[in-house]
Amino acid sequence: MRICFATNSQHKLEEVMAVLGGTFQLLTLADVGCKEELPETQETIAGNAYQKASYVWSHYKIPCFADDTGLEVGVLNGAPGVFSARYAGPQRNSRDNLNLLLKRMEALRNREAQFRTVISLILPQGEWVFEGIVKGVILTELRGTGGFGYDPVFQPHGSLKTLAEMTMEEKNEISHRARAVKKLEAFLNAL
Q: Which amino acid is at 12?
A: K
Question: What kind and span of H or E run contains 156?
Answer: strand 154-156
For residue 183, count CB atoms less than 10 angstroms from its CB and return exposed for 0-12, middle for 13-18, buried for 19 or more: middle
Backbone angles phi, psi at 178, to 5 degrees: -60, -40
Dist CA 67 CA 56 (whole Å): 13
Residue 151 is a catalytic residue: no
Question: Distance of CA 131 to CAs 25, 45, 59, Å?
Answer: 22, 10, 25
Question: What kind and span of H or E run contains 67?
Answer: strand 64-73
Which residue among the candidates 31, 68, 96, 151 is catalytic per the annotation?
A: 68
Dist CA 187 CA 157 (whole Å): 27
Give 44's contacts (C-beta < 8 A, 6+ positions apart). Answer: 82
**Catalytic positions:** 68
